[in-house]
Amino acid sequence: MHRLICLFIAFVVIGLGSAPGVVLASEKLPVFVSIIPQKYFVQQIGKDLVDVQEMVQPGASPATYEPKPQQMADLSNTRIYFTIGVPYEGVWLEKIAGANPAMRIVHTDDGIEKIAMTAHHHHDDEAEEHHGEEHHDGAHDNGLAEHHDEAAHDDDHHEEGGRDPHIWLSPPLVKAQAHTIMTALQEADPANRQIYEENFNEFAVKLDQLDADLKKIFAGKTGLQFMVFHPSWGYFAHTYGLKQVPIEIEGKDPKPAQLQELIEHARESGIKVIFVQPQFSTKSAELVAREIGGQVVFADPLAEDWMANLRVVADKFERALK
């Protein structure tokens, strides 16, 4: 009889563990996120209650990433997938959802009004005129003329609909995403609802402090410009009154005439630093930096220690704006 009772209890426990909406006290809630910064957000709210995996691996682009077979297999045990609106999701999200129909898809960008992708403004007539001319200035002699032929951009990353997906680089927007994450975790694991709320409140205080600190750093710098290769920092710039000037155009390296205009703009604006990210080629940025007598500096929008990284990048921007 004792043995039968033990077997019965074992079957009940196994049944509960496999039932949707039930998380055993000894288990962690398995979730997936699209990009590494989201992992940081979920861990701030879930802490030891969650097991978080990221889809886009370190060093890869969220625009062109293709999930590995093992990652797709791992989705079978996942309870929640948190999207954020990066381009690769447009191609893969249906397949991701199909890998586990019981898995809940939570769009953390819901309710966030996205801004247009930043593009540098050039004079079309002037650009057309340049195409019909033979150039002899120093910039072209130093390799600008060959740039267009050489630049086969490996990362063809058009953001869908012209909207900027980089909503994880503005603390106020991260606070909104964190609330969405908290709600989803509470619904998946109601027994720990209070813990998720307390963790969210703690994270929200840190986000508010970060926002206040960054506002102080950039006070008095409204309208100042920084140049980037890929326009990842639009929401950051918008939040703190700055302006980013991107080198690439619609996910592609600029043509020689457009690159020449960027060089002239940088010279006129006193820009001496070109910010790049590890996920993309630095060739165009290095060319511009060479022509303006400036330097290339890395600013990673996909670092895992999100809050510490944002402070580091803010410091780099602040020094470049002096």
- Cα dihedral 208, 213, 217, 222 in deg (nearest 10): 20
Q: How far apart are CA 210 and CA 307, in angstroms?
A: 8
pLDDT one-digit tens code per residue, 167-183 = 999 999 999 999 999 99
Collapsing DSSP states into helix, strand and coil, what is residue 189?
coil
The domain segmentation of the chain, as residue ranges, is 20-110+165-211, 124-157+218-320
CB 218 within 8 A of CB 238: no
Q: Which two tokens stand for residue 56?
A: 């886009």
CATH T-level fold of 20-110+165-211: Rossmann fold (3.40.50)
pLDDT one-digit tens code per residue, 23-79 = 555 699 999 999 999 999 999 999 999 999 999 999 999 999 999 999 999 999 999
Rounded to a whole number of angstroms, the distance between the first and last alpha carbons of the chain is: 80
pLDDT one-digit tens code per residue, 256-283 = 998 999 999 999 999 999 999 998 888 8
Q: In what order do the strands lie in the sheet with 225-228?
A: 243-246, 225-228, 273-276, 295-298
- Nearest alpha-carbon partner for 100 in 57, 62, 71: 71
124-157+218-320 and 20-110+165-211 share a CATH fold: yes
CATH T-level fold of 124-157+218-320: Rossmann fold (3.40.50)
Q: In what order do the strands lie in the sheet with 80-83?
A: 50-54, 29-33, 80-83, 104-107
